[in-house]
Structure 1
């Protein structure tokens, strides 16, 4: 079967439901014009569109690997949206976020993953650890797992802290080939006993064509750091390809970190 690139729907936000006051980005539950609820990540918050880009790339790469991620949608916020919002902080956030934002389908009734309550099999744990090493995701720790249990299945959320090289662009090529030392704090590292197998599986799936299909999803209006949007896309593409080509380096780092734990 030939590969079909992912498609991202676009919805319009029609109602601000409630803030989720976790972290500094002030995500919120909102209702869209398709009558579904979404957790909205705002372009006007925290790290701005960089967090949205990381969320998009991280979430869709996870999906390619067969991991469960809530549906990601582009979410249009009208400039007039939120004028009636009584909370000034939220009103300012909505004003700063006019345009295209990012939403994840709200998993109603989901609970935060607790490693002491729910064991995860070694293959799944290894694949998630591998992905987070690829993305340089510093935010999957016991303190903040960024995983949910929903209908007895594990779901990954919040990849906004990934790809932190793009906040400065300093030595991005060198960074693309570095090991990921924060893996020592990964919540699933103790269970990740099949990292070598996960590496072989993921490298087969995440070929350049599929990487390119994910990077091409980034809207031009989020790509403002270089002369052209395509130039910035090419750097994301090359960064990910470099890390996959040298994945044995971060796999080895993860294995050393795991041996120090167990």
Structure 2
């Protein structure tokens, strides 16, 4: 096990089982630190941008005082892929050699539904976060919240930060993202929208420039693919900070 800058790095020792409810076919993986991780693979159809969003949004959630499982990078080697019997999984593992995202498995957790009562402060911070990062995947159909030890934990943030999927020809406009409204209609806590405005100033202050730089710094270089005009990982990190800063400081018209 190696401790590096950013996320802790572990090495996969055994592929345990696929989690077929996820569209990208995440799986349970055992690592050399004896941990079990829900692993999201770089070779899945959505690509590494999804892994970037997972790391950045989880870091922002922690800055806002919201619980989200610990993340690591899981190094996947060829022998583990070779001996997987399921051909679909084997193909995915072969396409994902190298660093992947591991998220702590929370044993005994269960899915959140609206029968679980949460306070106004939690509701406000969650709605603020999802609005800030434009997370379209926190609906009542699929809340992407787990209840563990009596508290809600945030998971699955890959659908946020949609803007980076359009960077094939170069980065777009931070100002456009800053003004993009957030449709709260399907959000699992849509009825609590007033709470987001109550905590607006506190949340905006909590994600200051130091926090933005810190959470983007956690993203491994290997996941920051070259974009025209920003050919280095550090240059691309600066663009992510610029987009998030513009969203935070642009008057926040996106608040529900």
CA distance in structure 2 between the aligned counterparts of 1:94 and 1:247, rounded to whole angstroms: 44
Q: Is the 8 A contact 2:68 2:154 kept in 1?
A: yes
Where 1:168 maps in the other structure, the secondary structure is helix
Shift in alpha-carbon separation, 1:79–1:180, aligned structure 2, 3 A: farther
The residue that corresponds to 1:258 in the other structure is: none
State the shift of 1:99 in Å. 0.4
Does the aligned pair in 2 maintain the 1:165–1:175 contact within 8 Å? no
For residues 73 and 20 of structure 1, the distance between their equivalents in structure 2, rounded to whole angstroms, comes to 18
Question: Do residues 25 (structure 1) and 24 (structure 2) align?
Answer: yes
Give the 5 Å matches for 1:104-119. Answer: 104-115=103-114, 117-119=115-117
The two structures have a TM-score, normalised by structure 1, of 0.90
The answer for the alignment partner of 1:136 in structure 2 is 134
**CA separation of 1:242 and 1:16: change in aligned 2, threshold 3 A:** same
Segments of structure 2 that go 5 or more residues without pairing to the other structure are: none
Structure 1: segments with no counterpart, 5+ residues: 1-5, 255-262
**1:189 and 1:213 mapped to 2: Cα distance?**
30
Partner secondary structure for residue 24 of structure 2 = coil
Aligned residues: 246
Displacement of 1:196: 2.2
8 Å Cα contact 2:135-2:159 kept in structure 1: yes
Per-residue CA deviation, residues 26-71 of structure 1 (Å, 9 max, x unaligned), is 0011111111111000000021110100000011110111100000
Cα distance, 1:80 vs structure 2: 2.7
Q: Does 1:188 align with 2:192?
A: no
Contact 2:12-2:29 at 8 Å conserved across structures: yes
Report SS of the residue matched to 2:184.
helix
Moved over 6 A (4+): none
Offset at residue 224 of structure 1 (A) = 1.5
- 2:22 & 2:36 partners in 1: Cα distance? 20
SS at match of 1:126: helix
Deviation at residue 74 of structure 1 after TM alignment: 1.0
- For the 8 Å contact 1:43–1:49, the answer to whether it is kept is yes
| Contact kept in structure 2, 1:16 and 1:28, CA below 8 Å | yes
Q: What secondary structure is seen at the aligned counterpart in 2 of 1:215?
A: helix
Q: Identify which range, 241-250 or 34-43, moves more after superposition.
A: 241-250
Contact 1:123 1:193 in 2 (8 A): no
Whether the 8 Å CA contact 2:6–2:220 is kept in 1: the answer is no
Cα deviation for residue 247 of structure 1 reads 5.0
Separation of aligned partners in 1, 2:209 and 2:252: 18
1:218–1:35: structure 2 CA closer, same or farther, 3 Å change rule? same
TM-score by length of 2: 0.92
Q: 1 CA distance for matches of 2:21 and 2:172?
A: 31
TM-superposition CA deviations, 1:164-222 (whole Å, max 9, x none): 11011263324321233322211112123322232111111111011101111211111
Q: Is the 8 A contact 2:213 2:241 kept in 1?
A: yes
The answer (yes or no) to whether the contact 2:6–2:217 under 8 Å persists in 1 is: no
- Aligned twin of 2:159: 161
- 1:71-95 Cα offsets, whole Å, 9 max, x none, are 0111111133221111111001001
CA distance, structure 2, for counterparts of residue 137 and residue 186 of structure 1 = 10
Which residues in structure 2 correspond to 1:114-125 (within 5 Å)? 114-115=113-114, 117-125=115-123
CA contact (8 A) 1:79 1:99 kept: no
Matches within 5 A, 1:36-55: 36-55=35-54
Alignment equivalent of 2:234, drawn from 230, 234, 238: 230
